[in-house]
Structure 1
Amino acid sequence: MAEKMRLLIFGAGAIGTYVGGSMLLDGHEVAYLEKPEVCETLRKSGIHLTLNGSSHHITTGKFYSDLADVFTNGVFDAALVAVKSFDTPGLINAILPYAVCLPSIICFQNGVENEQLFEKAFGIEKVIAGTITSAVRRVEAGNAVLERKRGVGLAGYIPLVPKMVTAFSHAGLNAQQFHIAPDMKWSKLLTNLITNASSAVLNMTPSEVLSHPVAFHYELVQMREALKVMQKLGCQVVDLPGTPVRLFAGSVSKVPEWIAQPLLKDILGKGRGAKMPSLHIDLHAGRRQSEVSSLNGAVVKYGKQAGIDTPVNQLLAATLEGMASGTIPIDAFEHNPIALYSSLR
Structure 2
Amino acid sequence: MQVAVVGAGAVGCYYGGLLLRAGHDVTFIGRQPHVDAINAHGLLLDTNTFNGRLPARAATDTHALAPPDLVLVCVKSADTEQAGRSLAGRLRPETSVLSLQNGVDNAPRLNAVIGHAVIPVVVYVGSEMAGPGHVRHHGGGDLAIGPSAASEALAEALQAAGIRTTIAEDIDRTLWSKLIINCAFNALSAVAGISYGPMLEVEGTRDVVTSAVQEAVAVSRASGVSISDDIIEQILKIPAMMPNQMSSTAQDLARGKPSEIDFLNGYVVRKGAELGIATPTNHALQVMVKLAERGKEFSGRR
Displacement, 1:65? 2.9
How far residue 85 of structure 1 moved from its aligned partner, in angstroms, is: 1.5
Distance 1:34 1:8 in 2: 11
In the alignment, what sits opposite 1:180? 170
- The CA RMSD over aligned residues, in Å, is 2.5
- Between 1:170-179 and 1:139-148, the stretch displaced more is 139-148
SS of the residue corresponding to residue 65 of structure 2 reads helix
Whole-Å Cα distance in 1 between the matches of residues 267 and 291 of structure 2?
17
Q: TM (normalized to structure 1)?
A: 0.79
1:70 aligns with 2:65: yes
Counterpart position of 1:284: 254
| Alignment correspondent of 1:144 | 135
C-alpha contact 2:5 2:74 (8 A) present in aligned 1: yes
- Deviation digits for residues 267-315 of structure 1 (CA, Å, limit 9, x no counterpart): 223333243222122112222x211111101111111122211000011
Alignment pair present for 1:275 and 2:275: no
Render the CA deviation track for 1:14-60: whole Å, top value 9, x for unaligned: 1111111111111112111223453232111101112324213211x
- The verdict on how the C-alpha distance between 1:101 and 1:187 changes in structure 2, with shifts beyond 3 A counting, is same
Greater Cα shift, 309-318 or 135-144: 135-144
TM-superposed deviation, 1:101: 8.1
Matches for 1:91-110 after TM superposition, within 5 Å: 91-96=83-88, 98=90, 103-110=95-102
SS where residue 52 of structure 1 aligns? coil
The separation in 2 between residues aligned to 1:200 and 1:68, in whole angstroms, is: 35
Runs of 5+ consecutive residues of structure 2 not aligned to the other structure: none
* Larger CA Rg, structure 1 vs 2: 1
The residue aligned with 1:21 is: 17
1:128 and 2:119 are equivalent in the alignment: yes
1: CA distance between counterparts of 2:94 and 2:18? 22
Per the alignment, do residues 8 and 272 of structure 1 end up closer, same or farther by CA in structure 2, a change over 3 Å counting?
A: same
Q: Which residue of 1 aligns with 2:196?
A: 206
Q: 1:307 to 1:35 in 2, by over 3 A?
A: same
1:12 aligns with 2:4: no
Preserved CA contact (<8 Å) 1:13 1:140? no
In terms of mean alpha carbon deviation, does 128-137 or 168-177 score higher?
128-137
CA distance in 2, matches of 1:100, 1:54: 34
**Matched position secondary structure for 2:153:** helix
Trace 1:238-317 onto structure 2 (pairs within 5 A): 246=228, 249-251=231-233, 264=236, 267-287=237-257, 289-317=258-286
Letter in 1 for 2:173: D
CA gap 1:247/1:7 in 2 versus in 1, 3 angstroms: farther
Does the 8 Å CA contact 1:322/1:328 hold for their aligned counterparts?
no
TM-score normalised by structure 2 residue count: 0.89
1:198 is displaced (CA, Å) by 1.5
Q: Deviations over 1:164-206 (max 9, x none)?
A: 1110011110011112331121111122222210222234443
Counterpart Cα distance in 1 of 2:10 and 2:274: 33
In the other structure, the counterpart of 1:229 is 219
Partner of 2:145: 154
Q: Is the 8 A contact 2:197 2:240 kept in 1?
A: no
> Secondary structure of the residue that 2:129 maps to in structure 1?
strand
Deviation at 1:113, TM superposition (A): 1.7
Opposite residue 75 of structure 2, the aligned amino acid is V
Pairing 1:40–2:10 present: no
Residue matched to 2:71: 79
Q: Deviations over 1:98-121 (max 9, x none)?
A: 467893321001011211211211
Q: Write the deviation string for residues 122-172 of structure 1: whole angstroms up to 9, x where unpaired.
A: 23x511101210222321243222221341111022x22111111001111
Please state whether the residue corresponding to 2:241 is helix, strand or coil: coil
Corresponding residue pairs, total:
299
Change (3 A) 1:64 1:102: farther
Q: Are the aligned partners of 1:155 and 1:184 in contact in 2 as well (CA < 8 Å)?
A: no
Q: d(CA) in 2 for partners of 1:99 and 1:29?
A: 16
State how far apart, in whole Å, the 2-side matches of 1:310 and 1:113 are.
19
